[in-house]
């Protein structure tokens, strides 16, 4: 079974729900970045969350970026989704290695840190993107994204994210859910949802039991009817290219390109998201300079 996201409603369309299976997606990220188990859990949770957040957006060309910058040893976490069901990301320190937490789990909160900021950038094709920033609450990522939704978008939300890493470092399972109250919801629905959330075992436990995204939402809402609206395949994929690299150089302007021509025999860069290398020769830099001058 490949990775995918489901979108649904519950409580007579008063709650919007998303759930994802992201095992292969997270495993691909682990392979690309040579992630330690703790770094894998941190990036995996973030990838899963952003994949669901992109599903909330309506435009085909909409983009969402999540940046988590705490004071922990993992450094920054950056995840981008430019298309529905496609995510990419990286962490500042993929080799962070910490002891298990007091609960015997991968200590993502300590890796991220308790001080810092969560920033969400949404580009929906307007002149300026929407940028929302909140302080990190726990560093566990799910709590921090729920706090972002409530504080920055005024949407009460519950976020559950999980990544299970085996003893050999392989990703055994990964996934998560996001539940959101729609406007003008009745108090009784809020109480029902709070009770349902309180009874949830960890997302990791649900996934370990072989629960699908549909199963996760059905188990959360129990006897309530869940209307499944959409199912979207999910994968890790980078859309970098030589053309994009050259466009970035062109955007530097004439003076900077002239400096590069004088100081370098050529320029090499490595994509943060996939590790692919790109090279621009001095001759190509001179061609780009002519384009910049025109």
Architecture per CATH, 4-236: 3-Layer(bab) Sandwich (3.55)
The domains of the chain are located at: 4-236, 242-293
> Domain 242-293 is classified in which CATH homologous superfamily?
HSP33 redox switch-like (3.90.1280.10)
pLDDT of residue 190: 86
In this predicted structure, what is the pLDDT of residue 201?
Answer: 76
pLDDT along the chain (294 residues), means of 10: 94 94 98 97 98 94 96 98 96 94 91 98 92 97 97 95 92 97 86 84 89 94 87 97 92 89 84 94 90 84
Task: Please check whether the two domains, 4-236 and 242-293, share a CATH topology.
Answer: no
Beta bridge partners of 164: 173
Q: What is the pTM of this model?
A: 0.93
């Amino acid at each position: 079974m490949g990775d995918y996201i489901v979108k649904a409603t519950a409580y007579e369309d008063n709650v919007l729900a998303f759930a994802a299976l992201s095992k292969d997606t997270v495993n691909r990220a682990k392979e690309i970045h040579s992630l330690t188990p703790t770094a894998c859990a941190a990036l995996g949770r973030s990838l899963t969350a952003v994949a669901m957040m992109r599903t909330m957006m309506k435009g085909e060309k909409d983009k969402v970026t999540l940046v988590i910058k705490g004071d922990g040893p993992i450094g920054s976490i950056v995840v981008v989704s430019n298309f529905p069901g496609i995510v990419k990301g990286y962490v500042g320190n993929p080799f962070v290695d910490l002891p298990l937490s007091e609960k015997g789990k991968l200590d993502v909160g300590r890796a991220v840190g308790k001080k810092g900021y969560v920033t969400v950038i949404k580009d929906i094709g307007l002149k300026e993107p929407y940028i929302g920033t909140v302080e990190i609450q726990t560093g566990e990522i799910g709590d921090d994204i729920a706090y972002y939704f409530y504080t920055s978008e005024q949407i009460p939300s519950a976020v559950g994210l999980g990544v299970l890493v085996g003893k050999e470092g392989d990703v055994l399972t990964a996934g998560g859910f996001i539940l959101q109250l729609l406007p003008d919801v009745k108090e009784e629905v809020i109480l029902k949802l709070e009770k349902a959330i309180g009874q949830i075992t960890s997302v990791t436990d649900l996934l370990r039991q072989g629960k699908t995204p549909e199963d996760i939402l059905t188990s959360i809402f129990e006897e309530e009817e869940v209307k499944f609206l959409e199912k979207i395949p999910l994968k890790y994929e980078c859309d970098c290219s030589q053309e994009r690299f050259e466009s970035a150089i062109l955007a530097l302007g004439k003076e900077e390109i002239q400096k590069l021509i004088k100081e370098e025999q050529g320029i090499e860069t490595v994509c943060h998201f996939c590790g692919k290398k790109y090279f621009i020769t001095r001759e190509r830099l001179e061609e780009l300079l002519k384009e910049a001058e025109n």
